[in-house]
Chains A and B, each alone.
Chain A
Amino acid sequence: MAGEKKYKAPNKATVAEMRALFIDPVPDERKVDEALKHLKYLVEKYRPLMLAMESCTKCGHCAENCHTYLGTRDPNNIPTNRADLFRKAWKAAYTLEGKLFGKLVGAEPLSLDTIEKMYSYFYQCNECRRCAMVCPFGIDTCEVTFAGRQLLHWLGMVPKLQAQVGAAMYRTGNHTGLPKPGLVDTCEFLEEEMLEETGVEIKIPIDKPNSDVLYIPSSADFLLNPNTMMGAAKFFHYLGVNWTMSSEIAEAGNFGLLFDQRYTMRHNIMRLLNEAVKLGVKKIVWGECGHGWRTGKMYVPSMADRPIPVPIVHLHDEVSYYIRTGQLKLNPEVNSNPTTLHDPCNFVRACNMADTLREVITAVTTDFREMTPNRERNFCCGGGSAILYDEPEMYDLRIKFSAKKAEQVRATGVGEHGEGYLVAPCSICKAQLYPMVEEHQLGVEVKGLIDLVGTALYPPIKKND
């Protein structure tokens, strides 16, 4: 297993790391048989997957619409060819035409090599669903990637990053593995920060009993994107909302969506619903996290083991509502830098948020410029589905995947004088774009959207310097 590496791929989780996810890795000699069993199970269970297997006409329209193909020109990164990793094996093993005609109809028996290839290319897919949008039939190759990663997970093949995050979530209730004292400390620090910046005493409560609203932040907002955390706190404070976060589920993300849509996803969802009941909140508000919000909005109804106790909404849907009804006094002139918006794929193509984001950003900035293409036609940042690997060859791929994004940002001209804002209201987008704007020298600073709402609500006090 170790040593020879034919395909570019992130390092795999060790046996111990897989066992922390309650999976015993399947030894090589049994992998093909096991994989074929899982393949049949998955294809026969999920209709979108079966339709992807059986009704693609290979028109090739998806190729030029996938940023991973555009960035690498690797034929296996053409969405329909990525799906072929699955389709060929499905045809060869389980269809009449595949058994009779083999290669002629594009069938190829599954091999250990193909499984390694799946591991490489299903983890080069950003699950952005741009191919689903452009496909004339609406075939969603993201569903194939989902199923592919599920199969690989059951075989015990998960990237270290995903496996470690999954285990940290199980242990601590957030992806960074921060225990409660760490969360509380960070929040106190951010409270002081806000007091110094705005002169207003704004709280960031954790596990506060008798709260009305449970806010689900991305755990990256505690350390990596503190302005996003402070922005949300300012918004709630401004409206006088009785809100809290929970140390049990201080995580908007749900990596179950990305590698295990069964146990891992369900476990995280039930953790959320349990906590909502324990704290007695009336509404759950989700923070800036793309795949997490897709899970929260679209997968909670189908995965929850009991009726959903309270409404679950997104922070920006609330912000835009209060902007629309004129209840926020905003000072957009504090955000006067040229600003462009990166539409997170999950927000615009899976969660109906294209208008919402625009309502908010136009209200809190003075120089907003659209990227082209934008809204649901936007390209992924290249980090989608958390393929944020740091191994040199994987990092190099991430730079290539973000080439289309860099081109888009440059075309807006926001970074011409090195003072542009690139607003990306999604934790994974931010984690990808922080290094990418440097790699591509875009002259922009990556921001969250609620960050700008925060500054527009509470303009910083001028320091005499």
Chain B
Amino acid sequence: MEYLVLQILPYISVTIFVVGVMYRLGKWASARIVHNIVLTPAPPTLGGAAVNYAAEVALFRSLFKGDKSLWAGAWIMHFALLNIIGGHIVGFAFLGEQFKFIGTSAELSKEMSNLLGTTFGIVIWVALLYLLYRRFAINEVKLVSAPADYLHLLLLLGIVTCGNLMRLIPEYGVHYETAQTYFIQLATFQPVHLEHINFIFVLHLLLVQILMIVFPFSKLMHLFGMFAERWIINRPYVEPAPGLPGVKVSASSSTTTVTAGGKTTAGGV
């Protein structure tokens, strides 16, 4: 069982994840943006549009304007998730000593790494529980939910719970070194060593791999959908020039002259 989950399945799940996501993105790309469906008010410059785009993607601005509690649950969850994924990468790469690069000692860096990891682990767990609670408690959300929507949350909760158990209960703890060795062996196609590895760690990895397999075939694709959809509706728009042909300036003190002929600047997208 351990051999299957830790040695064989990872190659399968990573392949499915990568190929699956590329297939889906390829299908999206082959569909066209036929009409200009920009949502207004739209800024006239690309810079302005970039600011809107960034505010939506990084801060979930639309959600913030409309529903503060959903925003809190969703944004905190995603922010913690981003940090946890980043933490896994740098933690395993630098064995917890990544903060040396911003001037801490190796000791302090390890402590910070542990503290941040534990904190975000608990934060995301609470946020996920809130999102699950919402699905049960708010009638409208219940009305739109399919069984898979609950299962996704339960899967994430399972992953996070395993992670937290490893963090908080010493006997389930797995050291950065062990994890690093494991990933290097996996990445270089060597047999993995299965000592120092406990049941919770195996379960954690199994659930993560299930998530990777499910990802391309589920709403989890919203990660990419966010960027793709925003690219369609948050764009700049340049208004055509005003001014009617043949209008004589009437008795006015205005300094602006009328644009005769009414030529547009570049209208459209």
The CB with the most chain B CB atoms within 10 A, among A104, A299, A311, is that of A311
Q: Which of B4-12, B97-105, B194-202, B256-264 forms part of the interface with chain A? A: B256-264
Among A6-14, A48-56, A112-120, the one that faces the other chain is A48-56
Residues from chain A with Cβ under 8 Å of B249 in the complex: 327
CA distance in complex: A202, B44 (Å): 37
Looking at B58-66, B157-165, B185-193, the stretch in contact with chain A turns out to be B58-66
- Contact A327–B219 (Cβ < 8 Å): no
- Determine if B33 is an interface residue (Cβ-Cβ < 8 Å): yes
Does A47 make an interface contact (CB < 8 A)? yes
Contact with B along A280-307 (1 / 0, CB 8 A): 0011010000000000001101110000
Contacts of B232 in A (CB 8 A): 47-48, 51, 138, 140
Interface residues of B in 223-269 (CB under 8 A from A): 224-226, 228-230, 232-234, 237, 239-254, 256, 258, 261-264, 267-269
Cβ–Cβ contact B41 & A65, under 8 A: no
In the complex the two chains form, is A301's CB within 8 Å of B40's CB?
no
Chain B positions near chain A (C-beta within 8 angstroms): 24, 27-28, 30-42, 56, 60, 62-63, 65-67, 70, 74, 134, 138, 140-141, 143-149, 151, 217-219, 221-222, 224-226, 228-230, 232-234, 237, 239-254, 256, 258, 261-264, 267-269
Q: What residues of chain A lie closer than 8 Å to B250, measured between beta carbons?
A: 238-240, 327, 329
Interface of A is mostly: helix
Is B219 a contact partner of A55 (Cβ separation < 8 A)?
A: yes
From B30, B234, B245, residue with most partner A Cβ within 10 Å? B245
Across the A-B interface, give the 4 residue pairs with the lowest CB-CB distance, nearest first: A55-B225, A106-B146, A321-B242, A60-B141
Neighbouring A residues of B146 by C-beta, 8 Å: 58, 103-106
Assembled-state Cα–Cα distance A99/B174 (Å)? 39
Determine whether A279 belongs to the interface, using a CB cutoff of 8 Å to chain B: no
Chain A hits for B143, CB < 8 A? 60, 63, 75, 78, 81
Assembled-state Cα–Cα distance A51/B32 (Å): 11
The answer on a CB contact under 8 Å between A63 and B31 is: no
Residues of B with C-beta under 8 A to A353 = 40
CB contact under 8 A between A136 and B247, given known A81-B144, A311-B267, A352-B41: no
Q: Is A334 an interface residue (CB 8 A)?
A: no
With both chains docked as a complex, state the minimum distance between the C-beta of B229 and any C-beta of chain A, in angstroms: 4
**Chain B residues, CB < 8 A from A78:** 140, 143-144
